[in-house]
Structure 1
């Protein structure tokens, strides 16, 4: 289960630790508590991360680029897990060009799609496997490859349908897109929890207004955070989010 973690590094003043921040989602009765850490470190950039395995699944960094991962398939290869790759890229790269070069050099244990965009408007989708990394000029991806199709899982679930349905989002504002993603009956909300493929969170970043939006199942109003004001030391106004996985109990009972 994933939590929400914000970290601020590289500021010139020392701020107190804030937290803990808990996310609870039932009926799984899962809970994770993490700390919002604000401390001074030289030559480090502020980061926002969704935590898993203590490192992260997607995030933003102060220089203005966002990075997310999308699981495709498992392998038996030796290499870095995608969660570690997220941290390596966010800690060492400053834009899409640097991120692509870094990902191409790293050894990959599993198959993942990586989606990257920076403040200059550059974007890329990377299809990464242990054998090869392909770069696609696209602004969307789900949970399957378009190039190395032999690497896809035998049963793709709703991945292809969700990808094709994104055509409907082209003329919507970011808030409208966010609303579409968190509605349980929308084509982008997955209830495939029995396949460990259901929606656990929705995360968005507005590059113009520099606002972060975050929601979990059962929460109709996304949590909102202004990135620049938080970097300057503004404290969070909430300490937990509580949600519910729709249809989980029914799907596990089949």
Structure 2
């Protein structure tokens, strides 16, 4: 077992200043060193044109471009390196797991991936220039793998496959853009139909109207369906699926067995976080081990977070934070059944 931790960060201000603050936070941290060491081992198999990337950000989320400029200035990095490490446009994403279950007023989500890719940062951000305030764990500094915004829109995504990538944004940046620019599930659907996709993922969204959708997105097409369960296979875009889906179907069956349409949030959290229920994964070396379990509540703007399995979640009151209250910024600790640490560890 390895003891791991997630730091809590809170920021109110412009996107540029947010980028600067994040740059100062990570400049002497293992997160940045591990990220750069990764590129020395694994040479990028993609090219990013700075003007092309800028045009894409300006069209869909101009504030995030300002954030990247802040990171550039704080870290004194060439813009091409900033785009490689933090832009998430035309980069490649590794395969992963993940399971999501929603109810009338909650989403519970297991994030399954490789520990060394995990930032170990839980972010509160309230922009003063543009975009909605967001709560959720950060992915590659600027991205979000799940989260909730001030309008009560909740988002999580699940990997499907990475064959035939397109020229577009990667899932964690798309997740951030959904939360930053969309107020309802229908806004999210419109954005996902317009934005260019690098890979194939399902995005699960829930809002205060109790609307929940699974949006199946690939570089070639986007389809939507009503469902409250999602693992790692498409149900509409089946021709886009991977060949080996046994574990995805197994986790979905385990969730369905628990009468998921009537389960409450606490039971849903235990179903995904308890290591003996059949949904929590320990496949860390295969890029599919559960690192965190989150829950979001659109109407109350409460959020739960747990690192590792068999944990009682830490609760955050996002509504109070939006009104100016600071939350306790102590790190959150957990254990993973692996010798691998997170990116925020030496």
Do the structures match in fold with TM over 0.5? Answer: yes
Within 5 Å, give how 1:19-58 maps onto structure 2.
Answer: 32=119, 34=121, 41-54=128-141, 55-58=143-146
1:212 is displaced (CA, Å) by: 0.6
Match of 2:200 in 1: 111
Distance 1:191 1:36 in 2: 25
RMSD value, Cα: 3.2
Distance 1:227 1:37 in 2: 8
Match of 2:276 in 1: 185
Distance 2:172 2:127 in 1: 24
Match of 1:82 in 2: 171
Match of 1:153 in 2: 242
Native 8 Å contact 1:69 1:112 kept in 2: yes
Question: Which of residues 214, 226, 234 in structure 1 aligns to 2:317?
Answer: 226
Aligned residues: 239
Give the 3-state SS of the residue equivalent to 1:199 in structure 2.
strand
Inter-CA distance 132–244: structure 2 relative to 1 (3 Å threshold): same
Native 8 Å contact 1:96 1:118 kept in 2: yes
1:34 is displaced (CA, Å) by: 4.2
Within 5 Å, give how 1:1-254 maps onto structure 2.
Answer: 9=12, 32=119, 34=121, 41-54=128-141, 55-75=143-163, 76-167=165-256, 168=258, 169-218=260-309, 220-246=311-337, 248=338
87-96 or 102-111: which moved more?
Answer: 87-96
1:207 is displaced (CA, Å) by: 3.2
Distance 1:127 1:146 in 2: 8
Distance 1:151 1:29 in 2: 28
Give the 3-state SS of the residue equivalent to 1:69 in structure 2.
strand
For residues 66-96 of structure 1, give each alpha carbon's deviation from its aligned partner in whole angstroms, at most 9, with x where no partner exists. 0111111113322110111112222221111
Inter-CA distance 189–105: structure 2 relative to 1 (3 Å threshold): same
Native 8 Å contact 1:9 1:47 kept in 2: no
Distance 1:136 1:2 in 2: 36
* Unaligned stretches of 5+ residues in structure 2: 15-20, 30-114, 341-346
1:116 is displaced (CA, Å) by: 0.4
Give the 3-state SS of the residue equivalent to 1:94 in structure 2.
coil
Give the 3-state SS of the residue equivalent to 2:229 in structure 1.
coil
For residues 13-65 of structure 1, give each alpha carbon's deviation from its aligned partner in whole angstroms, at most 9, with x where no partner exists. xxxx9xx8x9xxxxx68884648566661343221122112221111110111
Greater helix share, structure number: 2
The structure, 1 or 2, with the larger RCO (C-alpha pairs under 8 Å, 6+ apart) is 2
1:177 is displaced (CA, Å) by: 1.1
Distance 1:37 1:158 in 2: 33
Inter-CA distance 112–50: structure 2 relative to 1 (3 Å threshold): same
* Unaligned stretches of 5+ residues in structure 1: 12-16, 23-27
Native 8 Å contact 1:3 1:51 kept in 2: no
Match of 2:49 in 1: none
